[in-house]
């Protein structure tokens, strides 16, 4: 790796997720990520195995980008550098995200502004986010509802199958007055989805993300025709695809930094979606507060905010975005506004 004016390094880190109810100590799921440091600037890459990114390929891409950072991108405007990285590494969106976060942080700090101001966006402070839940037993859901009592909306993740999840979802809707946002994860068949939508018409559901597997355009179009709730594309929103064909199939899209490939591309897609009449949900994967804070700078461009993946992490090494009474509260530092927590400095050196 070429030596930069300021030392650069890619650091492997495992985010430890909060222990599932009833699980033994030491059985917490782990989420492998890479943190990238260039001097005092920090980026994060959370590769998606489902999206075809392996942790090994992710590191290779990051190191290749770092090798070209000083000669090709370090002194370019971040948006221009992002376009070049997208052309060079189209299938590594999370690696591009990590490098681009560093470039945006560097530029915004130099201007003495928080990133949203450097981008010309409204401040995100006070905008409502949501609380993450997985459908499970009534006891588990009751406990999670108590933990998320300050939030006005709940993001519900499907994991088990249509029949079991519908029963749990109905229980959840009966025990909370909060709005529900359903992440279908592409798990339903067309028949299951059509039956489920008929059973969900009387629940307080704001929208359903990706009810069918990706690339089922005609089936999704038909499903939307009979659906009592809006349908949002999620897995159908990729780092190299256009949004035009989605406008006739879905009511909205869900975007994440890690799947879009960084700040510039996510912002471009959000604005293009608005032009096409699509609503926008700004979400996150399971990630630390580094990526979640970066995404929050774009919140003013979204109709819905689902920045809650970092709430599932037990060993978050980054100080940044907080959620107060379920609403975004941004750090006061310029740039991304993030910093390494004191107790994790040794891990990210």
SS3 for 112-145, per residue? Answer: CCEHHHHCCCCCCCCCECCEEEECCCHHHHHHHH
Are the beta carbons of 298 and 90 closer than 8 angstroms? no
pLDDT score of 87 = 93
In which residue ranges of the chain is CATH 3.20.20.120 found?
Answer: 131-340
Phi-psi region of 338 (alpha: psi -120 to 50; beta: other; left: phi over 0): beta
CA distance 266 to 253: 11
Strands (E), the chain: 8-16, 30-38, 41-45, 131-134, 153-157, 179-183, 205-209, 231-233, 252-255, 279-283, 304-306, 318-319, 322-324, 327-329, 339-340
Q: Work out whether strand 327-329 and strand 8-16 pair parallel, antiparallel, or are unpaired.
A: unpaired
pLDDT score of 25 = 54
Alpha carbon of residue 303 to chain centroid: 15
In which residue ranges of the chain is CATH 3.30.390.10 found?
Answer: 8-113
**How many alpha carbons fall within 13 Å on the CB side of residue 300?**
12
Nearest alpha-carbon partner for 286 in 70, 16, 13: 16
State whether residue 335 is helix, strand or coil: strand
Say whether domain 8-113 belongs to CATH 3.30.390.10. Answer: yes
Alpha carbon of residue 180 to chain centroid: 18
CA distance 15 to 285: 12
pLDDT score of 36 = 97
pLDDT score of 239 = 60
pLDDT score of 31 = 94
Say whether domain 131-340 belongs to CATH 3.30.470.20. Answer: no
Nearest alpha-carbon partner for 141 in 119, 108, 170: 170
pLDDT score of 142 = 92
> In tens digits, what is the pLDDT along the chain, a chain of 349 residues?
333 455 789 999 999 998 654 455 555 689 999 999 999 999 999 998 776 789 999 999 999 999 989 889 998 999 999 999 999 999 899 999 999 999 999 999 999 999 999 999 999 999 999 999 888 888 989 999 999 999 999 999 876 555 677 888 889 988 898 999 999 889 888 998 888 888 887 889 999 999 999 999 999 999 999 999 999 999 999 765 579 999 999 999 999 999 999 999 999 999 999 999 999 999 999 999 999 999 999 999 999 999 999 999 999 999 999 999 999 999 999 999 999 999 999 999 8
CA distance 323 to 336: 16
Q: Supply the pTM of this predicted model.
A: 0.93
User: CB within 8 A of 284, min separation 6: which ones?
Assistant: 256, 257, 258, 291, 292, 295, 306, 307, 308, 309, 310
CA distance 310 to 15: 10
């Amino acid at each position: 790796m070429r030596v930069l004016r300021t030392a650069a390094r890619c650091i492997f880190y495992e985010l430890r997720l909060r222990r599932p109810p009833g699980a033994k100590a030491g059985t917490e799921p782990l989420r492998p990520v890479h943190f990238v440091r260039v001097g005092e600037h920090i980026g994060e890459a959370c590769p998606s195995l489902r999206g075809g990114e392996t942790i090994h390929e992710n590191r290779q891409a990051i190191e290749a980008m770092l090798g070209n950072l000083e000669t090709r991108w370090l002194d370019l405007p971040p948006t221009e550098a992002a376009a070049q990285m997208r052309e060079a590494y189209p299938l590594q969106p999370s690696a591009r995200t990590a490098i681009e976060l560093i470039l945006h942080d560097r530029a915004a700090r130099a201007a003495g502004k928080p990133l949203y101001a450097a981008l010309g966006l409204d401040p995100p402070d006070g905008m409502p986010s949501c609380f993450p839940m997985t459908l499970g037993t009534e006891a588990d859901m009751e406990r999670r509802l108590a933990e998320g009592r300050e939030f006005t909306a709940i993001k519900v993740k499907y994991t088990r199958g249509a029949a079991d999840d519908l029963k749990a979802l109905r229980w959840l809707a009966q025990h909370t007055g909060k709005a529900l946002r359903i992440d279908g994860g592409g798990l339903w068949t067309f028949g299951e989805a059509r039956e489920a939508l008929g059973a969900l018409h009387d629940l307080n559901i704001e929208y359903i993300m990706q009810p069918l597997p990706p690339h089922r355009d005609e089936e999704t179009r038909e499903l939307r025709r009979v659906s009592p709730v809006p349908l949002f594309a999620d897995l159908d929103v990729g780092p190299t695809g256009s949004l035009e064909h989605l406008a006739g199939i879905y009511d909205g899209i869900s975007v994440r930094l890690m799947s879009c490939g960084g700040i510039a591309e996510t912002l471009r897609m959000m604005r293009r979606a608005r032009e096409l009449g699509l609503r926008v949900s700004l979400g996150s994967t399971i990630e630390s507060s580094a990526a979640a804070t970066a995404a929050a700078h774009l919140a003013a461009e979204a109709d819905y905010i689902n920045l809650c993946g970092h709430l599932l992490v037990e060993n978050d090494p980054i100080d940044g975005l907080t959620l107060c009474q379920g609403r975004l509260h941004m750090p006061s530092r310029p740039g991304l506004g993030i910093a390494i927590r004191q107790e994790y400095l040794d891990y990210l050196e």
